[in-house]
């Protein structure tokens, strides 16, 4: 998700209430940042932050970390969260390729919401459910491995299912027409847009 540049974006980001400027120094020690031993859930590619912020507001006994690499997007999440009281939220500006530089056996759940499908075969390694990334996730999960994915792209959805199963995951939930208005479903910005357009949303949960 790319947006037009926001004037002064870098300054807004680094001064964000929940932004962590140098996350690499906390590898293996994120519970000390949150000052508790609650489970840590991360969203890779959080966009403008609606999903991760609402989760943090709703589930105070879980620590949430939103991850995004684009300044033009992360700045929106910073602006939305600055005035909220959220002891259980942190926001990071990193590329997913560097997850192992930031976390070490301490993540409980990974959310992948409307990830870039990278449809060309030569780009398949870049998909966040490719074997390349699943190997990375193996090194950051604390114990049980749990991935929850939502996407409007059925090809990415089917690819991801096969990829996780090949990697030893069990698919414990699958839905090809998610009820976006159910009480327990927190929508992303993309999801709200697609729902209004009548586009079906696919969701699965895999556990290893």
| CA neighbor of 204 nearest in space, from 139, 144, 135, 154 | 154
- State yes or no: is 83 an active-site residue: no
Q: How far is CA 33 from the centre of its chain?
A: 19
Cβ within 8 Å of residue 138, ≥6 positions away: 145
Q: What is the DSSP letter of 165?
A: H
What is the arrangement of strands in the sheet containing 202-207, beginning at the earlier edge strand?
Answer: 89-93, 63-68, 40-44, 109-113, 146-151, 202-207, 170-175
Let me know: does 119 contact 155? Beta carbons within 8 Å. Answer: yes
- Catalytic pick from 101, 116, 143, 155? 116
Q: Which residues are catalytic?
A: 116
């Amino acid at each position: 998700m790319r947006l037009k540049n926001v004037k002064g974006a870098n300054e807004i980001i680094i001064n964000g209430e929940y932004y962590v400027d140098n996350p690499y120094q906390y590898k293996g020690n994120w519970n000390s940042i949150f000052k508790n031993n609650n489970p840590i859930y991360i969203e890779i590619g959080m966009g403008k932050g609606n999903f991760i912020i609402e989760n943090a507001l709703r589930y105070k006994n879980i620590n949430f970390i939103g991850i995004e690499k684009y300044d033009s997007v992360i700045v929106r999440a910073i602006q939305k969260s600055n005035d909220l009281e959220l002891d259980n939220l942190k926001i990071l500006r990193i590329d997913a390729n560097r997850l192992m530089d930031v976390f070490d056996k301490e993540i409980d759940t990974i959310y992948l919401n409307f990830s870039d499908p990278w449809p060309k075969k030569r780009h398949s390694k870049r998909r966040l459910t490719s074997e390349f990334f699943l190997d990375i996730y193996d090194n950051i999960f604390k114990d049980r491995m749990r991935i929850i994915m939502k996407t409007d792209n059925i090809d990415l959805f089917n690819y991801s299912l096969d990829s996780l199963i090949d990697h030893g995951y069990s698919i414990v939930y699958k839905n090809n027409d998610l009820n976006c208005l159910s009480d327990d479903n927190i929508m992303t910005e993309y999801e709200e847009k697609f729902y209004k357009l009548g586009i079906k949303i696919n969701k699965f949960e895999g556990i290893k």
